[in-house]
Amino acid sequence: MKNNCSFIATILCVTILSISIPPRAQAQAAAAEVRVDAQLQSQLEAVYMQWRSAMIKKNYNLWSQYTAAHKQITVKNRILSEKRSFPSSIFALPAAPPSVTGLKAVRVESVGATASAVYFGKVDFGVGGKPTDNVLQLQFVFERGGWKYSNADFFNLNLLKKERAQLQGGNMKFVAQQGFAATGKAPVKPIAINGAQYIAKVYVYCPGREVRLKVNKISDHRYQNNQVAEVVIGGARNGLNEISYAIKDLEGKSGKESLSIRVYLMSTVKGVKPIKVYEYQLKEGEKSKPFGTGHFVVGPKEVKRLSGK
């Protein structure tokens, strides 16, 4: 879904996502009362303020100090997979990450070494227009003696007007869902890569389905009822490359919607169009198989086209 923060979804150092809540999740609000731990909120906001300051000041040392270890590896992997410079590309933002000043904390909690702070209000990404009331979730991990920034998710409520109105009226049912809770399980550190031979992107269109992908046993991807292209971590390599996937129908869907899985090679030469090297496609009415493995090759022909010759 496009919105006033969609540009940030392409900037890996922030990874703020714009997503909508699937119907099943909307109906499954947690029974427990939502609470705000004021002391924890103060601690987490201090960490986020330092992390945000590092982004604004382009201070790598400060960024490293307040960013969770798994996040640091994820960010570096993404930059190297796109053949961009590190660490300068961390701070290649058209605008600063949003401030939480002026937003209402509606759920703040910790479970084990993880914490979640959920805010409601006019989340402003500084890209123009008039911000509307939406939800911002900040996630943290406790490591190296303190809380570290882990991730942020932006929930655009433009298509969830009922839920927006409930929050505006003080009804916290929407943020009582389990997806807004602290997970209690710290993210696993990904394998660090050294670079990529060729930039690659995986594109998935999967209405009514969940698709999980892995490229070359390194790059993991998950899609639910959406249309998204993501960078392949580690990129494509010379010769044979592998893609494996698992597909399942989402509740309430027929499982016969159209589906596309594609892999593209991306050139660093201006004007050279992406090269489609893999495709698995279903027309509307066709049933998908639950699992599959495919391959694509990067050979002399593809390399020549990427060079623009």
pTM across the whole model: 0.85
The distance from CA 301 to its chain's CA centroid, rounded to whole angstroms, is 33
What residues does each domain of the chain span?
Answer: 6-180, 199-306
Q: What percent of the chain has pLDDT over 90?
A: 79
User: Which residue's structure tokens are 């307040």?
Assistant: 66
Q: Is 50 exceeded by the pLDDT of residue 13?
A: no
* CB-based burial label for 208 (10 Å; 0-12, 13-18, 19+): middle
Which tokens is 53 given?
Answer: 């300051």
pLDDT band at 7 (very low <50, low <70, confident <90, very high): very low
Tell me which of 73 and 4 has the higher pLDDT. Answer: 73
DSSP string of 131-196, one letter each residue: --EEEEEEEEEEETTEEEEEEEEEE--TT-HHHHHHHHTT--TGGGBGGGS--SSPPPPPPP----
Q: Is 70 exceeded by the pLDDT of residue 77?
A: yes
Q: What are the pLDDT digits (tens) for 215-265?
A: 999 999 999 998 999 999 999 999 999 999 999 988 877 767 899 999 999
Cα→Cα distances 7→27, 42, 90, 236, Å: 30, 29, 14, 24
Q: Which pLDDT score, from 0 to 100, does residue 256 have? A: 77
- CA atoms in the 13 A half-sphere facing the CB of 218: 20
Q: Taking residues 168-184, report their average pLDDT.
A: 95
Q: Is 60 exceeded by the pLDDT of residue 26?
A: no
- Cβ neighbours of residue 62 closer than 8 Å, sequence gap 6 or more: 50, 53, 54
Q: Which pLDDT score, from 0 to 100, does residue 255 have? A: 67
Q: Taking residues 40-49, report their average pLDDT.
A: 98
Question: Is 3.10.450 the CATH number for 6-180?
Answer: yes
